[in-house]
Amino acid sequence: MSLMVIGTVAFDSVKTPFGEADNVLGGSATYFSVSASYFTSVRLKAVIGEDFPDEHMKVFAKHKINTDGLQRLPGKTFSWKGSYGFDLNTATTLETNLNVLLDFNPKLSDEDRKAGFVFLANIDPSLQIEVIKQLDSPKLVALDSMNFWIENKKEELLKVIGMVDMVVVNESEARELTGTPSLVKAARQIQKMGPKTVIVKQGEYGAISLFGDEIFSAPAYPLEDVHDPTGAGDTFAGGVMGYLASRGVLTSDSLRQSMIVGSAMASYNVESFSLNRLTSLQFNDIVARYNEIKRLTSFDDLK
Amino acid sequence: MSLMVIGTVAFDSVKTPFGEADNVLGGSATYFSVSASYFTSVRLKAVIGEDFPDEHMKVFAKHKINTDGLQRLPGKTFSWKGSYGFDLNTATTLETNLNVLLDFNPKLSDEDRKAGFVFLANIDPSLQIEVIKQLDSPKLVALDSMNFWIENKKEELLKVIGMVDMVVVNESEARELTGTPSLVKAARQIQKMGPKTVIVKQGEYGAISLFGDEIFSAPAYPLEDVHDPTGAGDTFAGGVMGYLASRGVLTSDSLRQSMIVGSAMASYNVESFSLNRLTSLQFNDIVARYNEIKRLTSFDDLK
């Protein structure tokens, strides 16, 4: 089933203890769509400036991502500059230039409206609401958000959470959104706002999902070297939603598998800067890592 | 096979956001031995003062823990006072009174020397070395340690690590010991010091183990309410070693199972203060939680 993502396409400048990258391709919708493209056809809704080069467009083309909804506006592409310390856990934002993102107003085409699976990446919750209103009976709508919107647009954020089937957030965001230190309680409170499915990303520790009463825990694949964590969360979400769209249905079992797919995709992504590793994967690589995570978590019944 | 633990028996005073407990039974060897007692017979080597009450001795008796090696010395029992903040992740030590622990010099009896499985809980690495020297061809020796010894007795600590089969440490300790931010690299470096098996505890996220080249990831059981994390690491280690001793052999499979047993035991322990929950378990409770963790981590092959 087709998957549409609404989010950002960006130029990232990133510094980690292992090197740096200047003005490379980034953005939530970019990581998401490339990750999801390994599983299903993806429609990308985002905005870019006049400075967005053809070489980046070729990345989307290579992954057969539909860019009919990628608006090019006068001005510069959204850009972000950040750095990571020794433990790679949290990015320090050094610079954010919204640029053309300020004029982003996603209008859905007739084709867009019919998307079965929709992911609203981290953008202004008011825009997320506008997108949902234009949809024509989607099968599954999921959203991501961030602390900025929790702090500055909480009312709109709570409203849009009530309109979606699935929420994907970081654990710090789940705690901040609900004012609850217990992660399980926080996730259950988000469920009470509407969505049956809540995924809480835990960075290097993996992620947990709640599907109704059922909890699933997906580990992160233990890597010796993480070079750049930028985009890991969006890559994870792309794997989750891409796999679910390919199955066409959200069940307890397909959700569990999608979480492992997401973890596998994110583990590849952090092995190098920008989308360097993510764009060069073979499907066999993904299956191999999925199976490694299976082995990583397997144990016999108690004797 | 019989299991011996050398560590501390203490009076703990603990404050968490959910309440407080004054002068309750605690100590690494206490949590460890009660946890392990559900799986095998345990010999406890530790020291207590004249003030150690009969009611606490009854706890050991109830769990059929052999206390022949529990020395009672003139003076007061070791005591610790700490508090936990809202997130319950790290304890702030408010007071430590070593008392009789200063005179602890574990001499093994003939019976002690024959122990097949031995756990050296967090004590002075010089004492850990002395204990190992007295052992008569043990099957498996494991140790725990803490940042204090890394910072103040690193040479002795490295020496004793080279003498054991298994190391159980927190992730911050693994990083500090090796000066390596990557957890997998840190664990591999500890393996290079001698032990084939390294377990890294990750608190609320669970634990990972390295057994030769093989990595296993055990999640923490997701609890809605954690009341007191004191002793969680020792309870986990007690479950791991108790189960391994009951099986009589350390293999990739028994280690994986033992990690889940440890996780189940730790999850019960943090549900209440001191050993309140840990001492009232039925074996069926443990099996039930083990099976819940199995369900928590199960997923189908990729389709």
Distance from CA of B253 to the nearest CA of A (A): 7
Interface-testing mutation among B205, B214, B286, with chain A (most A C-beta atoms within 10 A) = B205
Secondary structure in 3-state letters for chain A: CCEEEECCCEEEEEEECCEEEEEEEECHHHHHHHHHCCCCCEEEEEEECCCCCHHHHHHHHHCCCECCCEEECCCCCCEEEEEECCCCCCEEEEEEECHHHHHCCCCCCHHHHCCCEEEECCCCHHHHHHHHHHCCCCCEEEEECCHHHHHHCHHHHHHHHCCCCEEEEEHHHHHHHHCCCCHHHHHHHHHHCCCCEEEEECHHHCEEEEECCEEEEECCCCCCCCCCCCCHHHHHHHHHHHHHHHHCCCCHHHHHHHHHHHHHHHHHHCCCCCCCCHHHCCHHHHHHHHHHHHHHCCCCCCC
What is the reported pLDDT for A18? 84
Confidence of residue A91 (pLDDT cuts 50, 70, 90): confident
**Is it the case that residue A119 has pLDDT exceeding 90?**
yes
What is the reported pLDDT for A17? 85
Residues of B within 8 A of A215 (CB-CB) are: 222, 296
**pLDDT tens for each residue of B225-243:** 889 999 999 999 999 999 9
Whether residues A208 and B225 touch (CB distance < 8 A) is answered with: no
**pLDDT tens for each residue of B37-53:** 999 999 999 999 999 99
Q: Does B123 touch chain A (CB under 8 A)?
A: no
Chain-wide mean pLDDT for chain B? 95
Q: How far apart are CA A289 and CA A220, in angstroms?
A: 11
**Is it the case that residue B86 has pLDDT exceeding 80?**
no
Contact of B200 with B218, CB cutoff 8 Å: no
Burial of A25: CB neighbours in 10 Å, binned 0-12, 13-18, 19+: buried
Whether residues B181 and A217 touch (CB distance < 8 A) is answered with: no
Q: Residue A128: what residue type?
A: Q
What is the reported pLDDT for B87? 73
Q: Give the helix/strand (H/E) hosting B91.
A: strand B91-97
Average pLDDT over residues A102-125: 95
Q: Does B213 touch chain A (CB under 8 A)?
A: no
**pLDDT tens for each residue of A142-177:** 999 999 999 999 999 999 999 999 999 999 999 999
**pLDDT tens for each residue of B96-138:** 999 999 999 999 999 999 999 999 999 999 999 999 999 999 9
**Is it the case that residue B303 has pLDDT exceeding 90?**
no
Q: Tokens 């093994």 appear where?
A: B108
Q: How far apart are CA A121 and CA A10, in angstroms?
A: 13
* Partner residue facing A86 (CB), from B88, B181, B300: B181
Residues 226-255 in B contacting A (C-alpha not used; CB under 8 Å): 226, 247, 253
**pLDDT tens for each residue of B135-163:** 999 999 999 999 999 999 999 999 999 99
Chain-wide mean pLDDT for chain A? 95
Q: CATH class for domain B3-296?
A: alpha beta
Confidence of residue A87 (pLDDT cuts 50, 70, 90): confident
What is the reported pLDDT for A90? 77
Q: Does B265 touch chain A (CB under 8 A)?
A: no
Q: Does B136 touch chain A (CB under 8 A)?
A: no
Whether residues B299 and A182 touch (CB distance < 8 A) is answered with: no
Interface-testing mutation among B189, B198, B249, B302, with chain A (most A C-beta atoms within 10 A) = B302
* Partner residue facing A222 (CB), from B184, B226, B257: B184
Domain map of chain A by residue range?
Answer: 3-296
